[in-house]
Amino acid sequence: MRTLYHNWFCPFSRKIRVTLHEKGLDFSMRVENVWERRPEFLALNPACSVPLLQEPDGHRIADNYAITEYLEETYQDQPLMGSTPEERAEVRRLVDWFDSKFHREVGHYLISEKILKRLLRHGSPNSDAIRAASHNIRIHLDYIGYLADRRDWLGGKFFSYADIAAVSHLSVMDYLGAVPWHANESAKNWYMRMKSRPSVRPLLKDVIPGLRPPAHYADLDF
Amino acid sequence: MRTLYHNWFCPFSRKIRVTLHEKGLDFSMRVENVWERRPEFLALNPACSVPLLQEPDGHRIADNYAITEYLEETYQDQPLMGSTPEERAEVRRLVDWFDSKFHREVGHYLISEKILKRLLRHGSPNSDAIRAASHNIRIHLDYIGYLADRRDWLGGKFFSYADIAAVSHLSVMDYLGAVPWHANESAKNWYMRMKSRPSVRPLLKDVIPGLRPPAHYADLDF
């Protein structure tokens, strides 16, 4: 059986969960609390990070970037990247936008301050960091709305890893009640379409230990 | 003409410079001080980041991840990723190691504290951040040495993007005199081999405005 080592609030793990669903690949999941630095897990991935994917034949692929590219190369029935080098460059640009820029400017702050500090009982939330994230997320929502107004999907005419990256990062923020959806109607409509996809619905049932989501988190119409 | 928008101390831009050389592609370079947020550059790349590559036909590819994958897909004479999905997954894992983990634990601290604060005349270096980076870089050197002891090149039997990523990040640290080479002989030997490659030599002539490198920076035998 294919196994995904993940954590509930890890946006990068969410990307792989959605991707595996979109590609019709069966998998089981195993929670890995990477901060415990289990020796058995360190032996699987010296970076001690999730996601880590173990394929049915036992071989392992470590980390977001390697896993998404590996799945795209290996399971081509449901392509998620486009068909020309230019299309793929645009999808990858947007994946990087969410994985690097959104995560650095928004996700990293809120996950550290609102989830990790609580889970690890280590310090109290830094209100400056939360304020910065709350400011920055509006700019990202506007960019999503800008793209959604001009394209069928974020990366172009086709559903792609760009949509998967965006929904994976945003859904963790939405779980924290941190997305001001009223601020951008087009971004909200795109997210509504995403929520109704069978690949995304399982995320809406997630429960982060010790932290309940707001009521609208699982609503398809919010 | 192909144009690379870059900055001298940006490790991600260095990756593209080395890659273009390795693939035998001519290019000119243009420095972009991204913190100035030039409207003309924002129009080219809304993330306002380097590297940005403009191809001879005028189309542009933005950001490290999209550019490296685009160059690998488009110019296949000199492959830098391996030939099987498993080989490529291992190369990409290591690229991510340097681009994400090394940059987060070492490069980001030292570039912010030692270069950006000086260039932007904004605050004085944070000695805690510099101390953390100095501690962390030893762990990364040991990992490079571990790989170099077991493989011909960092990613396997072939020169790859793993070596390019490592040398791009490390060479900026070396410019700052921040690499304790004596701490790992195998890592040092690998770096010596890298320095003598025609694709890497141009980096050794770089001058970051206002900041001189240590004498050993450009020495092939240091």
Q: Assess contact for B198 and B17: CB atoms under 8 A.
A: no
Identify the pLDDT of residue B209.
Answer: 82
Q: Cβ of B66 and A143 within 8 Å?
A: no
Q: Does CATH number 3.20.20.70 belong to domain A3-74?
A: no
Q: How close B65 comes to chain A (CA, Å)?
A: 7
- CATH code that applies to domain B85-218: 1.20.1050.10
Q: What is the pLDDT of residue A210?
A: 84
Distance of alpha carbon A71 from the chain centroid: 16
How far is it, in rounded angstroms, from Cα B166 to Cα B162?
6
pLDDT at residue A209 tops 90 = no
* Chain position carrying tokens 């490079």: B144
From chain A, pick out residues whose CB is under 8 angstroms from the CB of B66. Answer: 88-90, 92-93, 96
Give the pLDDT confidence score for residue B222 in this predicted structure.
85
What is the domain partition of chain A in residue ranges?
3-74, 85-218
Interface touch B97/A69, C-beta < 8 Å: no
Give residue A34's pLDDT. 96
Degrees to nearest 5, angle at CA A101 with B64 and A11: 105
What mean pLDDT is reported for chain A?
Answer: 96
Share of chain A above pLDDT 70, in %: 100
Least confident of A38-42, A116-120, A188-192, B202-206: A116-120
Question: What pLDDT band is residue A122 in, cutting at 50, 70 and 90?
Answer: confident
pLDDT at A221: 85
State the DSSP string of chain A: --EEEE-TT-HHHHHHHHHHHHTT---EEEE--GGG--HHHHHH-TT--S-EEE-TTS-EEESHHHHHHHHHHH--SS-SS-SSHHHHHHHHHHHHIIIIIIIIIIIHHHIIIIIIHHHTT-S---HHHHHHHHHHHHHHHHHHHHHHHHSSBTTBSS--HHHHHHHHHHHHHHHTT---GGG-HHHHHHHHHHHTSTTTGGGGG--BTTBPPPGGGG-S--
pLDDT of residue B182: 96
Closest chain B residue to A83 measured between Cα atoms? Answer: B73
CA angle at A154 for the pair A148 and A159, rounded to the nearest 5°:
120
Nearest CA to B159 out of B21, B6, B61 is that of B21
Cβ within 8 Å, pair A89-B70: yes
Of A46, A85, A93, the CB nearest to B74: A85
Predicted pLDDT of residue A92: 98
Q: Spell out which residues of chain B touch residue A49, defining contact as CB-CB under 8 Å.
A: 101
Asked whether the ipTM of the predicted complex exceeds the cut of 0.85, the reply is: yes
Closest CA to B187 of B93, B102, B83: B102
pLDDT in tens, A17-67: 999 999 999 999 999 999 999 999 999 999 999 999 999 999 999 999 999
Q: What is the pLDDT of residue B201?
A: 97
Q: What contacts A149, CB < 8 A, 6 or more positions away?
A: A186
Predicted confidence (pLDDT) at residue A151 exceeds the cutoff of 90: yes
Residue in B46, B61, B96 nearest the CB of A89 = B61
Chain A positions in Cβ-Cβ contact with residue B86 (cut-off 8 Å): 59
CA distance B7 to B25: 19
Nearest by CB to residue A85, choosing from B70, B88, B95, is B70
Q: Could you list the mean pLDDT of each consecutive 10-residue stretch along chain B, which spans 222 residues?
A: 96 98 98 96 96 96 97 96 96 98 97 93 93 98 98 98 98 98 98 98 92 93 85
Residue range A96-106: mean pLDDT, rounded: 97
pLDDT confidence of residue B221: 85
Per-residue pLDDT, A54: 97
pLDDT of residue A136: 98
What pLDDT, on a 0 to 100 scale, did the predictor assign at position B3? 98
pLDDT at A173 over 90: yes
Q: Which of B53, B55, B63, B84 to mutate to test the interface with A (most CBs of A within 10 A)?
A: B63
State the nearest Cα–Cα gap between A188 and chain B, in angstroms.
Answer: 21
